[in-house]
Structure formats: C-alpha cells, structure tokens
Amino acid sequence: MKIILIRHAQTTIEPEKYNPLWSLSDKGITGAQQLANSQLLQGMEVMYTSDQLKALHTGIIIASKLGVFVKQRADLTELTSLTNDWKADYGGFVNDIYSGVIERHGDGESLTEATQRFNQAVAEIVVMEADKQLIGIVAHGNVLALFAAQFEQRDALTIHQAITMPDIAVFDWESKTFDVQFGHYEPSN
C-alpha cells in the first residue's frame, strides 16, 4: 500500500481569524489544481483530509479531479500549539518548538503528542482502507514533517523547512520508506 501525503496548498493569512478557518488563496487554488494533475496521484482510491478548511479545500480540488471520495478526520490536524492563535513570528516560533525552547503553547500539543496522534490516525486509515493500494492524506507542514522524520535521514525541522505549499510525498506502508520525499515536488505548468 502506498500513502500519498499531501501538504495543503497556499492559504490566505487572516490573523483575525482562527487559523483552522483560513482558506486557500488564489495561488493556492491554482497550486491544488496543478497538483491534481500529478502522475503520482493517478490511481488514488480515497482521499482523507484534516478538518481544517485549507486541507479540506485542497483535498476537494484534488479528489474532484480524480473522482474519489473525501473523508475528514480531526486527528489529521496541524500541531495544535501552532494553530490556537496568530503567531506574528511564525518561523521563530517553529524554531523554538523544534529546538525545545517551547514544549507547547497554551493548551496545544507537544511535538511528541502530535506525532503520536498523527501516527495513530494514519494507522487507523490503513486498517480501514486495507483493500486499497493508493490512499491520499492531506494535512499540514508540521505533522507531515514529524511523521516523515521517523523514516528519513533528515530531522523534522529540516523537512518542515523543505516542504512547500502544496507538496507531496509517497510513502510505502509495508517497507516504511519514501518513494518520493517532501521538498521534491515541482508543479507542472
């Protein structure tokens, strides 16, 4: 079984709004449409997304092009320490989280908690979709980086810094290896 891990497309940053309600920008919509044409997605049988609007919107664009169902899961959401309020210095805040200067923000999760939650979600999806060969999951930069770092020779922060919006990686569930790593997707024009 292959799992196509997808980071959502570019968003419109709206500091006055709760982060999970941010929508895709015009560039993000175009990026999701381009990603939907990727050969890597051909044959996808089902699409899962987090419940955040940007991931759902990305998933719907891709799934509608491929003719597959979209299923939402709250446990595919972003690291909650990063989504519970606006971070003017997002990059610095992310560095502080990954370096351990900050373990969690507010009532949000630690890196370990987010990794465990995301791992559990992926494992449950694999069990539920055991008859499928190609499953799509649209999620967020940090949880995807944390997941990928468990199986790559790069640390999570390095992976996070390489992931674009949108981005794609192909994970082989049986061998626990990446056929395509994050940071290597180039949209076709």
- 136-161 pLDDT, tens digit each: 999 999 999 999 999 999 999 999 99
Q: What is the pTM of this model?
A: 0.94
Answer with the residue of higher pLDDT: 23 or 14: 23
Q: Is a pLDDT exceeding 90 seen at residue 184?
A: no
Q: Which two tokens stand for residue 53?
A: 């609007």
Show Cβ contacts of residue 28 under 8 Å, excluding neighbours closer than 6 positions.
8, 9, 10, 11, 12, 54, 57, 58, 165, 166
CA gap 57, 49 in Å, rounded = 9
pLDDT of residue 40: 95
Tell me the mean pLDDT in the region 94-114.
93
pLDDT of residue 22: 81
Mean pLDDT over each residue of the chain, to the nearest integer = 93
CATH for 6-180 is 3.40.50.1240
Q: Is a pLDDT exceeding 60 seen at residue 117?
A: yes
Q: Is a pLDDT exceeding 80 seen at residue 15?
A: no
Q: Which two tokens stand for residue 129?
A: 């979709």
Residue type, 138: V
**Among the listed residues 189, 182, 187, the one whose alpha carbon sits nearest the alpha carbon of residue 7:** 182
pLDDT tens for residues 43-96? Answer: 999 999 999 999 999 999 999 999 999 999 999 999 998 887 778 888 899 999
Please state the domain extents for the chain.
6-180
pLDDT of residue 188: 64
